[in-house]
């Protein structure tokens, strides 16, 4: 059977993408290297938390338009949506790791056909789409040498970065504008035609390098804005000013829109992507690097606040509210909250109770080091309450329960 689309990587981006295409009538085959993920999806269930995604996946699977497996199947188009984490080197602890992209790309060599479209959705350093082409052609030379020249002339490669927010994925996959950056104009046009099946937003054509840098730029811009807010919070702490009041008043100016500070920056995008720009042009990206350093250093500032509060007790009970990288999702990637809780537990300055309503089990990093409880139980037991994530559940808690507690509110939900 030949599919309309094959999506490689069924995580936070790939699964919603595959499901949306499938519910719009496309025959979609999804690929993941984790057997349990494949089995879960083929049952019409999901392994990640996202509003309404369970309904979408169930409908797509029951309709016969979505199937999952461990290896790619033949299709007209392929979307690569696998992780692009860091790969620390001697000279650069934040060097990008394209190993998953390379493995996924090479796995297509046995199934691609003349005229196929191969799209990289994973957020990647500039030049990654060209590398993807080279990896696939190299693998084809090895497994299908007699066909390489014909395939080389006809395969189309493009970068179409996702622009979706956890908690709003299904809405934004359809509504947001997209960028289709091709290695050739024909590839960009083919990518545009594919996404038109699901997108009501505009689809803008460009080259692959511009598309790659555009996604990195969007997230670096956010990172710089958050760094300004986080730096303000440090200054306000020293000067005895409430940062939340300050920002609220400053934002009354019609041309000022300062973002909100927090315990750091997490997630796979904003906490990662700016480093890809720094890697590409380290001598020119001074502001972007500094913003990253400000945000990466913020967890240590929060730890100092907690240590200061803990010094008032012999063996304090510390309730840490939230582990995910942002509110009301189950995504733990690059979460500053986990970094803070892990360091607190290792320092053994008190008994640590963690509250995280959006995950089923505690991360391995924290196993045996912290206790798990409901928000009410944790706050009742605690001497110190630390807000690390602004989940709605925490915002709605009865503030009278905080009487006689020391509070470190990194999100300003109880100011």
- Give residue-wise pLDDT tens across range 262-274: 999 998 889 999 9
Q: What is the mean pLDDT of residues 215-219?
A: 96
What tokens does 182 get? 């091709």
> Where do we find the tokens 């046009």?
189
Q: Rounded to whole angstroms, how far apart are CA atoms 133 and 158?
A: 9
Q: What is the pLDDT of residue 189?
A: 98
Q: Rounded to whole angstroms, how far apart are CA atoms 295 and 245?
A: 21
Is 307 or 415 the better-scoring residue by pLDDT? 307
Q: What is the pLDDT of residues 77-129, one digit of tens each?
A: 999 999 998 888 777 788 889 999 999 999 999 999 999 999 999 999 999 99
Percent of the residues in the chain that have a pLDDT greater than 70, as a whole number: 100
Q: What is the pLDDT of residues 154-195, one digit of tens each?
A: 999 999 999 888 888 999 999 999 999 999 999 999 999 999
DSSP state of 145: G
Percent of the residues in the chain that have a pLDDT greater than 90, as a whole number: 89
Q: What is the pLDDT of residue 165?
A: 83
Q: Over the chain, what is the mean pLDDT?
A: 95
Q: What is the pLDDT of residue 58?
A: 97
Contact present, 46 and 24 (Cβ < 8 Å): no
**Between the CA of residue 369 and those of 341, 352, 373, what are the distances in Å?**
9, 8, 14
Domain with CATH 3.40.50.720 in the chain: 3-201, 218-409
Sign of the Cα pseudo-torsion (16, 22, 25, 27, in order):
positive
Q: What is the pLDDT of residue 103?
A: 98
Model confidence at 358: pLDDT above 90: yes
Model confidence at 361: pLDDT above 90: no
Phi, psi of 206 (to 5 degrees): -160, -170
Q: What is the pLDDT of residue 83?
A: 93
Q: What is the pLDDT of residue 362?
A: 87
Contact present, 130 and 14 (Cβ < 8 Å): no
**What is the DSSP annotation of 327-372?**
TT----TT-HHHHHHHHHHHHT-SEEEEE-TT-SS--GGGTTTSEE
Q: What is the pLDDT of residue 277?
A: 95
Q: What is the mean pLDDT of residues 249-275?
A: 95
Q: Which of 178-187, 209-218, 390-399 has the lowest mean pLDDT?
A: 390-399
Picking from 7, 268, 21, the residue whose alpha carbon sits closest to that of residue 119 is 7
Q: What is the mean pLDDT of residues 223-251?
A: 97
Q: Rounded to whole angstroms, how far apart are CA atoms 118 and 133?
A: 9
Q: What is the mean pLDDT of residues 41-69?
A: 95
Q: What is the pLDDT of residues 10-32, one digit of tens each?
A: 999 999 999 999 999 999 999 99
Is 357 or 88 the better-scoring residue by pLDDT? 357
Contact present, 229 and 258 (Cβ < 8 Å): yes
Look up the pTM and report it: 0.91
Radius of gyration of the chain (CA): 23
Please check whether the domain covering 218-409 is classified as CATH 3.40.50.12160: no
Q: What is the pLDDT of residue 239?
A: 98
Model confidence at 150: pLDDT above 80: yes
Contact present, 184 and 31 (Cβ < 8 Å): no
3-state secondary structure of 143: helix
Active site residues: 215, 269
Q: What is the pLDDT of residue 359?
A: 92
What tokens does 340 get? 């803070």
Please check whether the domain covering 3-201 is classified as CATH 3.40.50.720: yes
Sign of the Cα pseudo-torsion (252, 253, 255, 258, in order):
negative
Q: What is the pLDDT of residue 91?
A: 73
Q: What is the pLDDT of residue 254?
A: 97
Q: What is the pLDDT of residue 93?
A: 80
Q: Rounded to whole angstroms, how far apart are CA atoms 242 and 248?
A: 10
């Amino acid at each position: 059977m030949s599919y309309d689309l094959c999506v490689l990587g069924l995580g936070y981006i790939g699964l919603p993408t595959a499901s949306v295409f499938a519910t719009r009538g496309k025959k979609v085959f999804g690929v993941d290297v984790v057997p349990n993920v494949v089995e879960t999806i083929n049952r019409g269930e999901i392994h990640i938390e996202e509003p309404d995604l369970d309904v979408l996946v169930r409908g797509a699977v029951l309709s016969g338009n979505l199937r999952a497996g461990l290896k790619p199947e033949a299709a007209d188009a392929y979307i690569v949506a696998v992780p692009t984490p860091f790969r620390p080197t001697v000279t650069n602890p934040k060097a990008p790791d394209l190993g998953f992209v390379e493995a996924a790309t090479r796995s297509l060599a046995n199934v691609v056909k003349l005229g196929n479209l191969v799209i990289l959705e994973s957020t990647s350093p500039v030049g990654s789409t060209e590398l993807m082409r080279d990896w696939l052609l190299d693998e084809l030379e090895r497994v299908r040498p007699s066909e390489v020249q014909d395939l080389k002339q006809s395969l189309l490669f493009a970068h179409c970065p996702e622009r979706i927010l956890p908690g709003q994925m299904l809405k934004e996959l359809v509504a947001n504008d997209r960028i289709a950056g091709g290695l050739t104009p024909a590839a960009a046009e083919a990518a545009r035609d594919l996404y038109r099946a699901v997108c009501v937003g505009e689809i803008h054509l460009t080259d692959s390098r511009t598309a790659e840098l555009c996604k990195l730029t969007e997230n670096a811009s956010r990172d710089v804005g958050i760094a300004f807010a986080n730096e303000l919070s440090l200054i306000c702490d020293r000067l005895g000013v409430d940062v939340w009041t300050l920002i609220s008043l400053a934002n009354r100016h019609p041309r000022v829109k300062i973002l909100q500070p927090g315990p750091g920056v997490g997630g796979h995008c904003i906490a990662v992507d700016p480093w890809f720009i720094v890697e590409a042009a380290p001598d020119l990206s001074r502001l972007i690097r500094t913003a990253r350093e400000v945000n990466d250093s913020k967890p240590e500032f929060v730890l100092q606040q907690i240590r200061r509060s803990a010094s008032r007790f012999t063996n304090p009970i510390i309730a840490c509210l939230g582990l995910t990288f942002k509110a009301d999702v189950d995504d733990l990637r690059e979460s500053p909250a986990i970094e803070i809780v892990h360091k607190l537990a290792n320092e053994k300055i008190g008994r640590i109770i963690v509250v995280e309503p959006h995950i089923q089990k505690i991360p391995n990093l924290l196993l045996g080091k912290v206790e798990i409880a409901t928000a009410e139980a944790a706050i009742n037991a605690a001497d110190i309450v630390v807000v690390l994530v602004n989940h709605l559940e925490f915002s709605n808690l009865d503030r009278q329960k905080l009487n006689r507690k020391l509070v470190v509110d990194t999100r300003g939900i109880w100011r």
